[in-house]
Structure 1
Amino acid sequence: MPRENSLDDSEGRSLTPDLDEEEVVSAGAGSPVYSAFPETAQAGPQPLELARIKTGQSKRSLHSRLSKAHPSANVFSAKTTGRPHLPPKQRFQAVVRKVMSLHRGTTLLGAGKVGAEPGIDPSRPAVDAAYRHIHQECQIEIMDYSAVRSTSRKMNNEEFVKLMNMGSQEPPPREPWVKVRWINIGGVSWDVIKALSIKYHLHPLALEDVFHGHKGNRSKADYYTKHLFLRVLCHELVEDDDLPTNSLGSFTDAPRSSSPEPISYFSPEDGDKTIDNSTEELAKSGGISTSFSSIAKRPLSRRSPILPTTRVNSGRPTYTRNSIPKEFSIMAAKEAALQAQSAERKEDEAAVRTLKKGSRVNVAVSPMFFFLFRDGTVISIRSVPNLNFTIPIAYRLNSRDTVMRKSADPSLLLHALLDLIVDNAIQVIDRYHVKIHKYELQILLQPNMETVKELHILSGDLILHKRTLDPIKTMIFGLRRYDVDRCAALIDTSDPANKDIKIVGFMSHKAKIYLADVYDHMEYILTSLDMFAGIADNLINYSFNIASYEMNEVMRRLTIATIIFLPLTVLTGYFGMNFPAMWSLHHTDLFFWELALPIMVFVVPIALIGDLKKFWHYMQKKRDIKVR
């Protein structure tokens, strides 16, 4: 008879079963064995086997014990083609256990680990399953323009995906008058990026940079055969309430070559409850279901599968009879340790941000990605789900008298976007300029430790901003100087067909001229950062030097007072002695001053001879200045 369900032949089995279990393929509901042995099919295991299960004589599966305990086991295993028939609820529970086991195993063994295959290929089902949980309601705008005309369309996720899926594998067609198409996407969502990458053949390494953008990544330009890819960190002034929680646009904390974990279908608690409830119900139902209960509750045997069947197994190290740790348990322990370290690091960073709140310039740093194609298509992607950042560029494209509209050059559009990023960075620098002047005024008037603390925070922020802004200058220089050379490196010179091919860069000559102005602005930004960092350090050193100088002055005054009154103290102690026969006590107090004043005139100049010399040299220099 045909199988009732395609899942029947694999439900309830381990993903890596024992070798002896592979020989026994359990019976289906319509197998001939059930007609030949109706009692066995209805009543489940024989009393002998149930006794063996209760006494724990064997740790093998029920099917293995049946195959060796009964003479008819060979016939049972030879003639069967499917699993025993289960009610729909129990069959569903078995499938859920298998999916959970596969999910946990692939999470630790496959995606998301160091050494994973670089790049993101959306055409692979495994990649689609690993990234489909990244969803965000995006704002998308498509602008087509030339020197004489321009159009604009705004879409949501569903409309954009529908547009990308229309027609053939080529990009959506454009009107004949269109010279440049700008696809501006605010927000990062897997359905949008997947449809866009398949239609425009975006490189997998570029997609990996889109989904793995965090503060450690540098701004850069990557040259590929079909397009130029730019990744630039945008610095934008924001208010306290507008500061985004994910300003760095990071969708995963994993390293560059790794991928995010697949979507979680169950929480740890739900997973344990599901397995425990399902096994208990199977045990209570009687018959062949008792075998599944015994299999689920039995301890790990010598040939236990690598993939876990419960959350307990995935988080607790297991050992074989030879006390050798299981590979999966070792990986699970390492994974747990890494997650604990990551959680601790995030808590520390949150605590530092809380302490610095109110004393720093609020700057949102988020990555922005650009794709430049030779057919005049420019794609810009920003992790923030709005298009407010690029409103000035859209306004300029709607005016016919701008350079971008007159030239209809896609590389000039890319220059305008880079110039917009640099202009926002200049606003950040101007805000730091105001801050540093305010702190300098406070330090010169009256140094205090609160101002020193704010200077310390500002100095650290300046160092971090320089680290993120300096690569932009290098990237712009490379676009101007090495654009043609990098395009030439993409051509395979060993192919005779490419011998006389003309090398053309992605950036036009006019775009390179305008990029020189952007480069000058970046030079001003970086030199300003160095200057502000130097001023902050000097102010901090000045504050501590002033505090040290004031302490020295206090000690100097105390020393002078001690020197002046030391002879008087000695004489007072002498005349205060209570002896009956002392010739000096028969005189008046005038005799005390006759002794004290000469001693003070002799001792004080000797103690202050160094200060007197400095004062003498100071008066000589002042006199020389007046003479000249």
Structure 2
Amino acid sequence: MPRENSFTDSEGRSLTPDMEEQGDGRESLEGMAVSPTYNSPAQRTPHVRMNASSEPPRSGRPNPVTSPTSRQSIRSRMTHHTNATNQRPSAWSGMTPLEKFRAAARRVIALHRSTTLLSGGGGRIGAEPGVNPRRASAEALYGHIREDCEIEVVDYSSVRSSFGHMTNREFINLMGDPGASQRDPWVKVRWINIGGISWDVIKALSIKYDLHPLALEDIFHTRSQNRSKADYYPKHLFLRVLCHQLGEPDELDGLSSSQSPTLTGELRSASPLPMEEPEDESEDFNEKDDVTLHGSGPNSRQSTTRKKKRMLFLNKNEKDLEAMMGPDSSGSRLTKLMKAEGAVTQARQKQEEHEISLEALKRGDRVNVKVSPMFLFLFRDGTVISIHPTPNLSFTAPISKRLRQRDTGLRTSADPSMLVHALLDLIVDNALEVIDEYHKKINKFERAILLKPQMKTVRSLHILSGDLILHKRTLEPIKTMIYGLRRYDLDRCAALIDTSNPENEGVKVVGFMSHKSKIYLADVFDHMDYILTSLDMFAGIAENLIGYTFNLASYEMNEVMRRLTLATIIFLPLTLLTGYFGMNFNLMWSVQQNSDLLFWEIAIPLMVLIIPLFTLPDIKRAIHYVHKRMTTKKAIKVLFSQ
């Protein structure tokens, strides 16, 4: 059966097969073809179930912890695939000329799609939204997002609980085996807590639970300054919440993460690229390269060898392409695309350099806040999925600790929406710690300004004011999201029902959030309101302190100029007369026939006249001040005399 959204020929075969399925690695670039039976069930690697305890745990990973009330842990029910090989015959054997022609045409289409993936700049604008993990293009675009995740799967009810820690491979095997991933009858809520983002884990998870492509796109394209939101889909509720957490003072300023690009490093309007540049794989493969992802053969669909050979073509640089296509191909479309991609990469590097320089200038007396997104999926069957970019579970450790205690509200209610509330409350509590730290900083700066204003303090206040504006932009949508979960949950679920379908008439609308969780969300809403009002207050205090500093500096400058003006006014007559009597004339009766007494006889009356004339406004203000003081004293005397 052809893939979704793919072109098919008259016989129903896909004209755009998966890049992993287009011939084996032993064929040359020109001679590679696709077998028309590549998707046949007989050619797939057989799956053999075995106990998970037969495989030693990875070093540094905790062993699965089983609750005393649980008979069987999650990992004890997992199955693994065997290291079997699946050798296929040559793709060209047994094919008619017509089939060979069609296979070659499909190969040309696949090569054309590869060049399309390399196009840069505006070529990615207007791409199809969403990420479909079943497409080969998604594998090519996101296949390099690899990380050793820490995964915890918790099954619990009001009476029992089970905890399991897994690695990437163990979790993928769990998602691929329906028997191992099936929940026991006593399980009311299953919480899949993933620390870190890796394409293989997200792909297995999305295929198992049918996550919406738009939600997956938000996971791989979310920046740290994006707005928190709640999206309602027919099968699940998706939440994207920005977490604000205090970092260590000696660490790099966490606010730099708010300006970091997405996982793919591209704009939101662009189609994604790999998270990081792959290592140079142009060397010959060694023996370890034959090790496959799921124990399959080097020519199977899951073989890492096939993926490496496929990426050798996709990651050619400009010189390699020119050498491969010949000296006369300098104006080819592929070379131009590579040049455009190089220009985009260079511009992105310059932008990153500017951002790093700006963050270096802002270092100092700041509040180190780490801003990172958390993604939550809530299903109607009681499954909750949480994904955090940090490859550890330290952020959600308080929730796991509460689930291990039988007398907590999470365990007694066994409500998946209450688990979502607990995660949201955890995020808000961390934001409250950030607000308290900013309160301490504001008090410190205010004390410094009142004692002795300095430009260094004003600089710190300016940076702090900008951080507060940024945090208000990222925290305010959380309040709107929580209000929407409490107020419009049923309305949004009702909007998902297709009223044009007669079968949906009379269907009862059931929201994702329970009545109890809505009551508890009111407390989270109050905390968010306190956080936002505190941010407004801190920003206002910072602006007032900055304005007070400059006003005080201006006042002091005015006082200095006023004193200089008074001195100038006082000595202006004396300076004028001194200049007159100091002229060196032979015939000057005022000097030759008089003493210095004449100088003072003229200077004193002139000073008596000029000084009051220039200081008349100050004299009026002094008289007004004395009058008010006398009036106040008289009123007080009259009050006490009665």
TM bucket (normalised to shorter chain) is 0.7 to 0.9
- Residues 1:377 and 2:390 aligned together: no
- Residues 1:131 and 2:142 aligned together: yes
**Equivalence map 1:234-253=2 (5 Å):** 234-243=243-252, 250-253=262-265
- Residues 1:229 and 2:238 aligned together: yes
Task: Give 1:249 shift.
Answer: 8.3
Distance 2:341 2:171 in 1: 38
Do the aligned partners of 1:488 and 1:503 also contact (CA within 8 Å) in 2?
yes
Task: Give 1:611 shift.
Answer: 1.0
Selected match of 2:574 from 568, 580, 604: 568
Distance 1:309 1:588 in 2: 102
Distance 2:460 2:322 in 1: 45
2:424 maps to 418
- Residues 1:464 and 2:467 aligned together: no
Do the aligned partners of 2:374 and 2:387 also contact (CA within 8 Å) in 1?
yes
- Residues 1:350 and 2:356 aligned together: yes
Residue ranges of structure 1 left out of the alignment (5+ in a row): 16-78, 83-97, 275-306
Selected match of 1:180 from 168, 173, 189: 189
Do the aligned partners of 1:315 and 1:333 also contact (CA within 8 Å) in 2?
no
2:600 maps to 593
2:202 maps to 193
**Equivalence map 1:142-541=2 (5 Å):** 142-167=153-178, 172-243=181-252, 250-256=262-268, 258-261=271-274, 311-312=318-319, 328=334, 331-541=337-547
Q: Name the amino acid aligned to 1:421.
A: I
Task: Give 1:238 shift.
Answer: 0.4
Relative to structure 1, the CA distance from residue 142 to residue 309 in structure 2 (aligned partners, 3 Å threshold; closer, same or farther) is closer
- Residues 1:623 and 2:636 aligned together: no
- Pick which of 154-163 and 107-116 moved more: 107-116
Do the aligned partners of 1:571 and 1:592 also contact (CA within 8 Å) in 2?
yes
Do the aligned partners of 1:112 and 1:260 also contact (CA within 8 Å) in 2?
no
- Residues 1:609 and 2:616 aligned together: yes
Do the aligned partners of 1:135 and 1:190 also contact (CA within 8 Å) in 2?
yes
Distance 1:224 1:521 in 2: 28
Task: Give 1:215 shift.
Answer: 2.7
TM-score by length of 1: 0.74
Q: Provide, for residues 280-316 of structure 1, a one-character-per-residue CA deviation record: whole Å limited to 9, x for no partner.
A: xxxxxxxxxxxxxxxxxxxxxxxxxxx9997149799
Task: Give 1:263 shift.
Answer: 7.8
Distance 2:559 2:31 in 1: 85
Task: Give 1:505 shift.
Answer: 0.1
Distance 1:519 1:529 in 2: 15
- Pick which of 574-583 and 438-447 moved more: 574-583
Q: Name the amino acid aligned to 2:377.
A: F
The count of residues paired between Structure 1 and Structure 2 equals 505
Distance 2:383 2:111 in 1: 43
Do the aligned partners of 1:308 and 1:314 also contact (CA within 8 Å) in 2?
no
Do the aligned partners of 2:257 and 2:371 also contact (CA within 8 Å) in 1?
no
Instruction: Tell me the percent identity.
Output: 58
Q: Name the amino acid aligned to 1:341.
A: A
Do the aligned partners of 1:232 and 1:472 also contact (CA within 8 Å) in 2?
yes
Do the aligned partners of 2:265 and 2:275 also contact (CA within 8 Å) in 1?
no
Do the aligned partners of 1:105 and 1:308 also contact (CA within 8 Å) in 2?
no
Q: Name the amino acid aligned to 2:523.
A: D
Distance 1:474 1:192 in 2: 31
Q: Name the amino acid aligned to 2:373.
A: P
Relative to structure 1, the CA distance from residue 618 to residue 419 in structure 2 (aligned partners, 3 Å threshold; closer, same or farther) is same
Task: Give 1:508 shift.
Answer: 0.4
**RMSD of the alignment, in Å?**
3.4
Q: Provide, for residues 462-491 of structure 1, a one-character-per-residue CA deviation record: whole Å limited to 9, x for no partner.
A: 111111111101111110111001111111
- Pick which of 394-403 and 601-610 moved more: 394-403
Q: Provide, for residues 116-152 of structure 1, a one-character-per-residue CA deviation record: whole Å limited to 9, x for no partner.
A: 2211111223312322211111111111111122221
Distance 1:109 1:544 in 2: 49
Residue ranges of structure 2 left out of the alignment (5+ in a row): 1-22, 34-96, 101-108, 285-313, 636-642
Q: Name the amino acid aligned to 2:397.
A: I
Selected match of 1:559 from 546, 555, 565: 565
Relative to structure 1, the CA distance from residue 518 to residue 162 in structure 2 (aligned partners, 3 Å threshold; closer, same or farther) is same
Q: Provide, for residues 402-441 of structure 1, a one-character-per-residue CA deviation record: whole Å limited to 9, x for no partner.
A: 2211111110110010011011111111111111111111
Do the aligned partners of 2:194 and 2:393 also contact (CA within 8 Å) in 1?
yes
Q: Provide, for residues 16-68 of structure 1, a one-character-per-residue CA deviation record: whole Å limited to 9, x for no partner.
A: xxxxxxxxxxxxxxxxxxxxxxxxxxxxxxxxxxxxxxxxxxxxxxxxxxxxx
Q: Provide, for residues 525-545 of structure 1, a one-character-per-residue CA deviation record: whole Å limited to 9, x for no partner.
A: 111111111111111111111
- Residues 1:122 and 2:133 aligned together: yes
Task: Give 1:253 shift.
Answer: 2.3
Relative to structure 1, the CA distance from residue 266 to residue 215 in structure 2 (aligned partners, 3 Å threshold; closer, same or farther) is closer
Specify the SS of the correspondent of 1:108: coil
Distance 2:438 2:25 in 1: 64
Specify the SS of the correspondent of 2:429: helix
Do the aligned partners of 2:152 and 2:165 also contact (CA within 8 Å) in 1?
yes
Relative to structure 1, the CA distance from residue 624 to residue 231 in structure 2 (aligned partners, 3 Å threshold; closer, same or farther) is same
- Pick which of 375-384 and 575-584 moved more: 575-584
Distance 2:615 2:633 in 1: 27
TM-score by length of 2: 0.72
Relative to structure 1, the CA distance from residue 99 to residue 217 in structure 2 (aligned partners, 3 Å threshold; closer, same or farther) is same
Task: Give 1:594 shift.
Answer: 1.9
Specify the SS of the correspondent of 2:373: strand
Task: Give 1:359 shift.
Answer: 2.5
Do the aligned partners of 1:101 and 1:308 also contact (CA within 8 Å) in 2?
no
Distance 1:344 1:219 in 2: 29
Distance 1:459 1:107 in 2: 42
- Pick which of 410-419 and 109-118 moved more: 109-118
Distance 2:346 2:226 in 1: 23
Distance 2:357 2:121 in 1: 33
Task: Give 1:576 shift.
Answer: 1.6
Relative to structure 1, the CA distance from residue 112 to residue 522 in structure 2 (aligned partners, 3 Å threshold; closer, same or farther) is farther
Q: Name the amino acid aligned to 1:259.
A: P
Distance 2:167 2:607 in 1: 93
Task: Give 1:13 shift.
Answer: 7.7
